[in-house]
Chains A and B, each alone.
Chain A
């Protein structure tokens, strides 16, 4: 929604708004009263002015909340979207509704200098409305793992935490390389079925972080293809005969045991025969945050347990 609608942003209204804005910016410059604000361009190429010393930031998605905490800038956060559950301290912050259904009134009441949103998820209507109300919205758009690294750098830049962002990203890179070189030692590429939904059975296609994690961890994603979240019947999965099954369900615990038991009825499936049905926290593989690397390491261990057993 955000993507398609942003193509329509170039309306006459916007042009007028921008020209008035540039005019005012020019006036300020002439007076020599440079307001302590700077022009930034978000990941969608939209320009906005942001005060130099940001004091009040509202995060519009759980992943953004996580990144801001990782950058050590949580003191700026005055509100977060619902389900911002990591780290635990984020849960104590005021909630502004879920990322697809934001509560405008709550956001305005928090008087933010800046909102940070995500292109896939936050509806463009809310973003436009916030901007009409004079609250700039910085949008990030992490399409793949590399883009996640870039997003962390950009947010570090935006929130004056460059140093911290560089540290996080280089740490992530090191860990990625470690996994890559480890799995490179194994000649086989196990067939992985990554189940993210129980009923219906849903997996993840090529355009997802999950696919990237599986491939990077030296596995073969059985659901690869153009459909982002393809559905499967039980029959199809038996036909695919996966070596490894990784299940991330929104509901965990008992539900995982139940799903595992259901699959256990089919001992002919390699994953069942070798007892390689594993649970993974879904937040580690579908949120564009530094924790994706935790997900990567867990997926690698699930796919190549032998490599991890050898190494202490």
Chain B
């Protein structure tokens, strides 16, 4: 292991820098285009401080598009990293916060928050967080003690919890009568358009520490892939590590869900895609997923605001429409 370290470090650097440049390009693009058209040159000059655009464009670039791009990056990073962690822990490429019901759980929390008239922040965010933690605890409780079949039990329990949460959300929607219904439905589709900088900093303050923690545990995740018994013989306290990873991921995911609603399939597509390209080493995959996931959601958000002729689409619609077919293709290819 020790002898490999410099090589791994070098790989981490090369792949990170490559993906970082992809992310920077998509972010620059995200800041340059919007529903009022694209002005790449002016936007770039304004960003680099070379030349001031007119006041209106400055406002649009700095106070509408920039927070939105930052939010998309954070959301993408958190969700795809969340997917990666769940896939490693369950050793199943289908695992994702959505499939395990964590996102739906925080969705229930957020909708109850909206319905009871809480303020968007901190009321609804805390309600979303409470929802996801409740779902996670329920999952852990349901699956505790079933060591032999734990992997499948957890996954199946998650699917059932998710189905229950989806039904509960439908129930809440069906009893909602007034204009709050619009809020809920737009929120459920995953919407990034209301981003502002304080919200972005807040989300960053939650997400960044979690990603650092996960990166520190990335080598342990590698050991998990070789099997729990082997990991235990290598001196890993599997229970504690599993709990830490699950909780850190849930915090991260529920924070993003609270910020902009459930944005689906990011945690499924990005880790899978990157694993196919750069292999299964989590020390490389963790930073790669963050950067790649960020770029992916920024790109989806660009499509969301430029594709429709009138108004905007929620970004979640795009991530799902790209994500689901891509995932099926990947699955077929990797199977053959």
Name the contact of A125 in the complex, choosing from B56, B60, B120 (C-beta under 8 A): B120
- Which residues of B are found within 8 Å of A1, using beta-carbon distances? 114, 179-180, 183
Name the contact of A5 in the complex, choosing from B35, B56, B119 (C-beta under 8 A): B119
Q: Mark B181-221, 1 if CB is under 8 A from A, else 0.
A: 01100100001011010000000000000000000000000
The verdict on B63 contacting chain A, using a C-beta distance below 8 Å, is yes
Nearest A residue (CB) for B36: A109
- Which residues of A are found within 8 Å of B34, using beta-carbon distances? 105
- Which residues of B are found within 8 Å of A121, using beta-carbon distances? 179, 182
**Pairs across A and B, CB under 8 Å, 19 listed:** A1-B114, A1-B183, A82-B310, A82-B311, A95-B311, A97-B312, A98-B311, A101-B193, A103-B311, A105-B305, A106-B35, A106-B36, A108-B59, A108-B64, A121-B182, A126-B194, A132-B63, A133-B59, A227-B177
Inter-subunit contact A123/B311 (CB<8 Å): no
Nearest B residue (CB) for A202: B177
- Which residues of A are found within 8 Å of B312, using beta-carbon distances? 97, 101, 103
Q: Mark B41-67, 1 if CB is under 8 A from A, else 0.
A: 000000000000000100110011100
Give the shortest distance, in Å, between A143 (CB) and chain B (any CB).
13
Inter-subunit contact B64/A105 (CB<8 Å): yes
The verdict on A120 contacting chain B, using a C-beta distance below 8 Å, is yes
Chain A residues within CB distance 8 Å of chain B: 1, 4-5, 8, 82, 95, 97-98, 100-101, 103-106, 108-109, 111, 120-121, 123-126, 129, 132-133, 227-230
Most chain B CB atoms below 10 A, which of A108, A111, A228 = A108
Instruction: Report the Cα distance A228→B180, complex, angstroms.
Output: 13
- Which residues of A are found within 8 Å of B186, using beta-carbon distances? 100-101
Give the shortest distance, in Å, between A178 (CB) and chain B (any CB).
33
Inter-subunit contact B179/A129 (CB<8 Å): no
Nearest A residue (CB) for B186: A101
Quick one: given A5-B119, A104-B64, A105-B65, are A228 and B36 in contact (CB under 8 Å)?
no
Instruction: Report the Cα distance A230→B177, complex, angstroms.
Output: 8
Inter-subunit contact B35/A103 (CB<8 Å): yes
- Which residues of B are found within 8 Å of A98, using beta-carbon distances? 311
- Which residues of A are found within 8 Å of B279, using beta-carbon distances? none
Name the contact of A132 in the complex, choosing from B118, B177, B196, B311 (C-beta under 8 A): B196
Inter-subunit contact B177/A228 (CB<8 Å): yes
Inter-subunit contact B179/A101 (CB<8 Å): no
The size bracket of the interface on B is 20 to 34
Inter-subunit contact B60/A105 (CB<8 Å): yes
Instruction: Report the Cα distance A101→B180, complex, angstroms.
Output: 12
Inter-subunit contact A109/B60 (CB<8 Å): yes
Inter-subunit contact B311/A4 (CB<8 Å): no
The verdict on B227 contacting chain A, using a C-beta distance below 8 Å, is no
Give the shortest distance, in Å, between B61 (CB) and chain A (any CB).
10
- Which residues of B are found within 8 Å of A126, using beta-carbon distances? 194
Most chain B CB atoms below 10 A, which of A1, A95, A100, A124 = A1
The verdict on B117 contacting chain A, using a C-beta distance below 8 Å, is yes
Give the shortest distance, in Å, between A140 (CB) and chain B (any CB).
15
- Which residues of A are found within 8 Å of B183, using beta-carbon distances? 1, 100, 123
Give the shortest distance, in Å, between A77 (CB) and chain B (any CB).
17
- Which residues of A are found within 8 Å of B114, using beta-carbon distances? 1
Quick one: given A105-B35, A105-B36, are A100 and B56 in contact (CB under 8 Å)?
no
Name the contact of A129 in the complex, choosing from B119, B180, B194 (C-beta under 8 A): B194
Name the contact of B63 in the complex, choosing from A82, A100, A133, A229 (C-beta under 8 A): A133
Nearest A residue (CB) for B180: A1
Given contacts A100-B183, A133-B64, 8 further A-B contacts (CB under 8 A): A1-B180, A82-B310, A97-B310, A98-B311, A100-B186, A101-B312, A108-B60, A228-B178
The 10 A-B residue pairs with the shortest CB-CB distance, nearest first, are A4-B117, A100-B182, A109-B36, A97-B311, A8-B119, A105-B34, A229-B177, A125-B194, A105-B35, A1-B183
Give the shortest distance, in Å, between A199 (CB) and chain B (any CB).
13
Most chain B CB atoms below 10 A, which of A105, A123, A132 = A105
Give the shortest distance, in Å, between A156 (CB) and chain B (any CB).
26
Instruction: Report the Cα distance A125→B312, complex, angstroms.
Output: 16
Name the contact of B193 in the complex, choosing from A82, A104, A133 (C-beta under 8 A): A104
Name the contact of A109 in the complex, choosing from B56, B117, B311 (C-beta under 8 A): B56
Name the contact of A120 in the complex, choosing from B179, B193, B194 (C-beta under 8 A): B179
- Which residues of B are found within 8 Å of A100, using beta-carbon distances? 179, 182-183, 186
Nearest B residue (CB) for A230: B177
Give the shortest distance, in Å, between B110 (CB) and chain A (any CB).
13
